[in-house]
Structure 1
């Protein structure tokens, strides 16, 4: 380690200690300080690690958490970034906080923002990349899905020997020839049919001939067993196959992969994809199916992703939403709840959320009117936008509470007539809500800065 790297590391660790000890945070700022002193610090910090990079639009945080749980069955020392601080500064902070094992080469499982993959691979060559999915998201940062994928590939190009573990049901991940070894995971639980995705679905043009793709089976959006009737382009052979879907509720999902039965403690088809990705990484790293099942049976609540928090007797579930596809999947998931629930929508438009809020108009909020929801609360910095959107969707005024102040939102939650409350929040709104809940003593840690 050079003198410059040593000083930068000391400064970063010192700032982390102060922020963590006195302010109960520090997921980003220590990394910023360290990078200011040594922009190349990741080369030093990551040199001793085997690194697995998890990237894509939706599901990175839960996929990372599930992957760590799976790999912990075989590898005792794993470094990760559980709060979802996935840009360069957050990743540097993660390495600063590392506790090195006395023996063996440590493993790092890192959630990485799509545009920040190259900021990792220019200093560290990962052992593997995990591609979850690519959907339209934060247009101000990424542009369309093809530019997002190219940002990832720019980083992958610096690590041509790393294995790619990709969602085989997503056509974009089979659209370009790559030198890397590739393994695919996906759903294979339905008999073949011939169908198309819904109108206005992104990413359904054949990358070879630009004909509209057809599907033998669909899970959601543009994901499924796709094929082109014009040129023969089709989904690649799957390495890891979901062979059966079982019961799904808002708090659990049962399924089989390669004939092995699994259950996870979160709902939603999109979260089964996350578990399938974690299974694929586990098998790639030599973890047995029985060990993976044991890992999945653990508590899978993670930072801001379907956490259930007791707020004076109200069971409050916080769910991150950030784009139309993810939002629709969340709305479908909470729609499977057999009990009555109240709903909270918190909308911010900071850089980490995406400053363009027009995506809320592509989400199917209208399906909420099919349920008798006794109370709906809207808030956040862009509360006017989300309030108007739900008004247009058909939420009646007499059941709609508008409260921009998140502290007062917590007070309103205590007054709703249902025990169950779902909070759908963009990223910075989720952080703000968690900080308020921590300050009030409902959760103990994980404020993040």
Structure 2
């Protein structure tokens, strides 16, 4: 480590200690200070780790958490960025706070923002990279899905020795010519549809064949553009799956049961989209030598991640906080809510800061029209862009009589004990999720805000 890196690391560690000893913490500032002194500090920080990068539009945080849980079944020293600070400065902070490894070469499982992959691989050569999916997200930052994928590829090209573990059900991930070894995971839970021929919905992104640009067909579709795809014009098709889901045995709002390669698994979180995250984590665990039974035990004991179906108890209310940020993720959450047989209250919070995506037009692609058909006696809308989300639900057919508008998030927290149902679901964009979570912490419903 150079003298410059040593000074930068010392300043970063000191700032981290001060922030977490005397203030409320912080995951970005220490990293910002460190990289200001030494922009190449990641090179020295990551050289003694086996690094696994997890990136993609949706599912990075949960995939990272489940991967860490799985790897800890075999490895004693596994470092990660649990607060979701996935930009360069947050990743630097992750290494700053790392304890000294006590056993074998430590592992670092890093959630990395798509646009920041190249900022990491420029200095760190990962052992493996996981690509979860690519969906339209934050148009002001990323543009269309092909632009986002290009950002990831630019980073991957700097790490040709890394094994890429990728979602085989996503057509875009089989379209590049990277030199890396690649392993694919996906769903094989509908073998009876092997000869079916269907198309995705007309407004679905990413359904053009990467080779001939004709519309892809599917034998089966999981959701959006994910599934067993093929092109009848040029023969482009889903690759062989190295890790496959066999069947889904139970889907509830708070848990999912499924089989992977003949082994039963359970995660205490709902939604088909989260089964993909578990399958990705399983794939990493297997290439790292973790046994299926050990991975199953890790999944069943997983802790809820902040904002990712985190359950907060407010008196007798069971409040589930869910991050939403793009149409595909939102529609999967709405689909998950539809599996709840009990009545529940719905709170929708919309912000439009840089971390959320300034363009809020994506809410019009959300299937909010399903909400009036569910057993929801009370809905509340709020956040900095409360007018937008309020109008969207009005157009979706939500009756005014059960719809309350409350821009002030602190007042929403105070209103929760008065809601008519035991279950409450809060769907919030990123900064709105942080804000209301801090309000929960201030009122003592959770121990603290995020790190």
Q: What TM-score do you get using the length of structure 2 for normalisation? A: 0.98
How far apart are 1:218 and its partner, in Å?
0.6
Within 1, Cα distance between the matches of 2:18 and 2:418?
A: 37
Distance (Å, rounded) in 2 between the aligned partners of 1:232 and 1:116: 34
Show the counterpart of 2:342: 339
The alignment status of 1:323 with 2:326, answered yes or no, reads yes
Alpha-carbon shift at residue 194 of structure 1 (Å)? 1.0
Which residue of the partner structure matches residue 38 of structure 1?
Answer: 38
* 1:216 and 2:231 matched: no
Q: Give, in whole Å, the separation in 1 of the partners of 2:45 and 2:314.
A: 40
Residue 54 of structure 2 aligns to a residue in which SS?
strand
Which stretch shows the higher mean deviation, 31-40 or 323-332?
31-40
Cα shift at 1:446? 3.9
Whole-angstrom CA distance in 2 between matches of 1:300 and 1:239: 27
> What CA deviation, in whole Å up to 9, does each residue of 1:118-166 have, x standing for no partner?
0000000000000000000001010000010000000000000100000
Conserved in 1, the CA contact under 8 Å of 2:66 and 2:302? no
Specify which of 259, 262, 265 is matched with residue 262 of structure 1.
Answer: 265
Where does residue 189 of structure 1 map in the other structure? 189
Q: Is the 8 A contact 1:242 1:276 kept in 2?
A: yes
- Partners in 2 of 1:128 and 1:394 — Cα distance? 46
What is aligned with 1:445?
448
Question: Deviations for 1:2-25, whole angstroms, at most 9, x for unmatched residues?
Answer: 222112111111111122223332
Distance 1:372 1:238 in 2: 39
Bigger shift: 29-38 or 181-190? Answer: 29-38
Whether contact under 8 Å (1:221, 1:325) holds in the other structure is yes
Task: Compute the displacement of 1:397 (Å).
Answer: 1.1
Aligned length: 448
Q: Write the distance in 2 (CA, Å) between the matches of 1:305 and 1:2.
A: 39
Q: After TM superposition, give the deviation of residue 102 of structure 1 in Å.
A: 2.5
User: 1:99: which partner in 2?
Assistant: 99
1:116 CA displacement: 0.1
Whole-Å Cα distance in 1 between the matches of residues 21 and 388 of structure 2?
Answer: 37
Q: Secondary structure at the match of 1:230?
A: coil
Question: Which residue, out of 408, 420, 425, partners 1:422?
Answer: 425
SS in 2 for 1:14: helix
Question: TM-score, length-normalised on structure 1?
Answer: 0.98
User: What displacement does 1:317 show?
Assistant: 0.3
Structure 2 unaligned segments of length 5 or more: list them. none
Distance in 1 between the 2:48 and 2:272 partners?
A: 36
Pick from 346, 351, 364: which aligns with 1:348?
A: 351
Q: Deviations over 1:356-380 (max 9, x none)?
A: 0000011000000111311111111
**Unmatched 5+ residue regions in structure 1?**
none
- Secondary structure of the residue aligned to 2:141 is helix
SS in 2 for 1:266: coil
8 Å Cα contact 1:378-1:404 kept in structure 2: yes
For 1:146 and 1:329, how far apart are their aligned partners in 2?
22
Q: Following the alignment from structure 1 to structure 2, what is the Cα–Cα distance between the partners of residues 318 and 158?
A: 37
Distance 1:225 1:22 in 2: 53
Looking at structure 1, the residues matched to 189 and 302 of structure 2 have their Cα atoms a distance apart, in angstroms, of 26
